[in-house]
Amino acid sequence: MFRLARILPLLLVVSLLGCKKKADEGYRPDALRLSSDRMTPEVLWSFGRISNVQLSPDKSQILFGITNYNIERNKGFRDLYILPVAGGTYKEITNTAVNEAGEVWRPDGKKIGFLSRESGSMQLWEINPDGTGKWQVSEIEGDISGFNYSPDMKHVAFIKEVKVKSGLNEKYPDLTKANARTYDDLMYRHWDEWVETFTHIFIATIKKGKLAEIVDIMEGQPWESPLKPNGGMEQITWSPDGSKVVYTCRKKQGKEYAVSTNSDLYQYDLVSGATINLTDGMMGYDINPAFSPDGRYLAWESMERDGYEADKNRLFILDLQNGTRIDATAQFDQNVQALAWTDDNKSIYFISDFQANDEIYRYNIESRDLTKITTGIQDYSLVLPAGNHLIAVRKSMSKPDEIYRVDPSTGEAAELSFVNKPLLDQLAMGRVESRWVNTTDQKQMKVWVIYPPGFDASKKYPAILYCGGGPQNTVSQFWSYRWNFQMMAARGYIVVAPNRRGLPGFGQEWLEQISGDYGGQNMQDYLSAIDSISNEPYIDKNRLGAVGASYGGFSVFWLAGHHNGRFKAFIAHDGMFNLESSYLETEEMWFVNWDLGGAYWDSTNIIAQRSFANSPHRFVNKWDTPILVIHGEKDYRISYTEGMQAFNAARLKNIPARLLLFPEENHWVLSAQNGILWQREFFGWLDKYLE
């Protein structure tokens, strides 16, 4: 079996030919010369990462950022770039020792606003589109974490952390060396932080190029906007006349916050200072508001049911003239995201997953028709109307994000950015194939199969079953810097990635089946996938592994007690092992209440009792296969003690096991060297037990 990185993990030998002008910066893909055409962890972390793509007001230029990582320094460095919509070479407009972030075109198109630590704290700066004339706009206490301009350029809305509750040190000022926290209610920690501050929205007046007359529109209130952990400035928008701000907020705290997903859209009037709830009575998530250019309509993403974070994501539209609200996608059995209005107010473009591909769609306001624009083996994540074309961001399992120009009449796309082309041209990628597999209940399930580069059907290959997370995250054409299928294929493994029960893109019935059925039909789907694909003569059934993170980690723990000898190696990252302990260790109680059916002590709740009866820890007596357990110690979503329990159980049963803990990582692995270490341990384990 060919294993490139087995000789030495760094044998890849990346040659840096003047790749950056400063020692502080990362490695540019166009300056790398590889010694092999196979993907390695070091190569994976050398791709340029495109983010925050935005169109200029006149639709002629694209603003975006590229992050390049310096592996030796264990840091990413981000600069800003301009690219013509018509095509051509992108131009760097910032090149500093600090990272620029949150870039936004000023409404007149003459300046670009961005955030920078060049003066110490994160402040708002402006720069000309050609990279000249840099100017610091804000000088406030603390860090700004996001902003946007009012359309009339008279104001700026920005967000920053504020402390609205006093701590023990304020209560007992004489105990200057005491260090403790106290809590009287739930939601005291979230994802990877102890909740001690809240993100508030501030409105500032622009006077002589500086921010002045700053007002906290949520002053003293113990809630945040945007929503943590993933919300950004897309959850806050200005009305076209600049007189109002609409923002997303869940105005709850403590236990009420922990058990509810009911966020609303609030409208703040700059003149009166009054705030009104635009979505009162709508009980699920209501997020990401977007005004039509003429100000008549407000569109947003909406879920119907409180407590269900994976409910259908609908396109809702409010007519501000008559107050009527419509569910524009009532007959559309798919989710919507990334809404974008056309300049003529007649259409909304959005992204939706259909059968494990994220494509571009258009909704017509007058006819209420939906049209699918693109088709292919790809994932679009952003769409921006630009005259007769669309500007979009696209990726696949074989290619990271790049910027494309799409013809809305044909769906044909032309790449514009080519940031990673010099690196991709040196790499051999494995073939990605779509298959449909019969499940145990006679359904058809889509399964991706990724083959090693240079695949030879006359040979025998080991195979990996990929167990997805979420549990309601689609296994689409995503590009990951950790769970990278092309990396696995480059090591000589065939990857089997099923879209089992519980994933979007195949209708709500398929998605919702998993809730209350952990360890049920979706696990049979996994076994159907690996059994079907491993029947191919080129797969060695004696060298099968199963890997996954989050719900995928739970899946691996569950399969370890039910696989009946199919697998020879397991890897579980950030997985739930003991559902009873996990229920009380997590923070977003709405998730476990919905997906598990309720509390384990409720003996009258049949759904909950079935869920907890299927907890992986109850089947450790059947474990017999080597397992690598990985966890981040700052993962407050699924506590690292879950991983410790699983590892301890395996070793007490004398099963070969390894526990890999990352003290500074959360539910993900985000730093360069930790990411590379993760890959080496991951493949070291598979290579050892699937050889």
Residue showing tokens 């893109």 = 505
Model confidence pLDDT, tens digit, residues 340-361? 999 999 999 999 999 999 999 9
Q: Which residue of the set 155, 200, 389, 667 is catalytic?
A: 667
- Determine the Cα–Cα distance for residues 634 and 638; give it in Å rounded to an integer: 9
Q: Would you say 619 and 558 are in contact if contact means Cβ atoms under 8 Å apart?
A: yes
What are 27-35's contacts with CB under 8 Å, separation 24+? 27/68, 27/69, 27/70, 27/71, 28/68, 29/68, 29/419, 29/420, 29/421, 29/422, 29/423, 30/422, 30/423, 31/422, 32/422, 32/423, 32/426, 33/426, 34/423, 34/426, 34/427, 35/11
pLDDT of 8 over the 70 cut? no
**Span 480-502, average pLDDT:** 98
Q: Which pLDDT score, from 0 to 100, does residue 31 have?
A: 82
DSSP, collapsed to helix, strand or coil, labels residue 166 as: coil
> What residue type is assigned to position 21 of the chain?
K
DSSP string across 593-652: HHHS-S-TT-TT-HHHHHHHHT-GGGGGGG--S-EEEEEETT--SS-HHHHHHHHHHHHH
pLDDT of 5 over the 70 cut? no
Decide if 574 is catalytic. no
Q: Would you say 623 and 646 are in contact if contact means Cβ atoms under 8 Å apart?
A: no
- Determine the Cα–Cα distance for residues 517 and 472; give it in Å rounded to an integer: 13
Q: Which pLDDT score, from 0 to 100, does residue 24 have?
A: 52
- Determine the Cα–Cα distance for residues 548 and 555; give it in Å rounded to an integer: 7
- Determine the Cα–Cα distance for residues 100 and 77; give it in Å rounded to an integer: 9
pLDDT of 649 over the 70 cut? yes
A 10 A CB-CB count for 404 gives 22
Model confidence pLDDT, tens digit, residues 160-205? 999 988 889 899 999 999 999 999 999 999 999 999 999 999 999 9
Q: Which pLDDT score, from 0 to 100, does residue 26 have?
A: 67
Q: Which pLDDT score, from 0 to 100, does residue 27 have?
A: 72
For residue 113, report the phi and psi dihedrals to the nearest 5 degrees. -90, 145
Residue showing tokens 């950030």 = 574
- What is the pLDDT confidence band of residue 621, given thresholds at 50, 70 and 90? very high
pLDDT of 12 over the 70 cut? no
**Span 385-413, average pLDDT:** 98
Model confidence pLDDT, tens digit, residues 308-338? 999 999 999 999 999 999 999 999 999 999 9
Tokens found for residue 273:
């200072």
Where on the phi/psi map is residue 568: left (φ > 0), alpha (ψ -120 to 50), or beta? alpha
- What is the pLDDT confidence band of residue 9, given thresholds at 50, 70 and 90? very low
Tokens found for residue 27:
């490695």
Strand order in the sheet with 275-277: 236-238, 244-249, 264-269, 275-277
- Note if the bond before 229 is cis, omega within 30 degrees: yes
Q: Which pLDDT score, from 0 to 100, does residue 10 have?
A: 34
Tokens found for residue 527:
């076994």
Q: Quick one: what percent of the chain has pLDDT higher than 90?
A: 94
Tokens found for residue 672:
């360069």
Which of these CATH numbers, 3.30.450.20, 3.40.50.720, 3.30.379.10, 3.40.50.1820, describes 432-690?
A: 3.40.50.1820
Model confidence pLDDT, tens digit, residues 228-253? 999 999 999 999 999 999 999 999 99
Return the domain boundaries, the chain: 336-415, 432-690
Model confidence pLDDT, tens digit, residues 117-136? 999 999 999 999 999 999 99
pLDDT of 2 over the 50 cut? no
- Determine the Cα–Cα distance for residues 365 and 317; give it in Å rounded to an integer: 9
**DSSP structural state of residue 440:** T
- Determine the Cα–Cα distance for residues 110 and 591; give it in Å rounded to an integer: 45
Q: Which pLDDT score, from 0 to 100, does residue 32 have?
A: 87
Could you tell me the pTM of the whole model? 0.95
Decide if 192 is catalytic. no
Q: Which residue of the set 550, 555, 582, 611 is catalytic?
A: 550
Model confidence pLDDT, tens digit, residues 255-303? 999 999 999 999 999 999 999 999 999 999 999 999 999 999 999 999 9
Decide if 635 is catalytic. yes
Q: Which residue of the set 116, 635, 639, 687 is catalytic?
A: 635
Tokens found for residue 87:
């095509």
**Span 60-83, average pLDDT:** 97
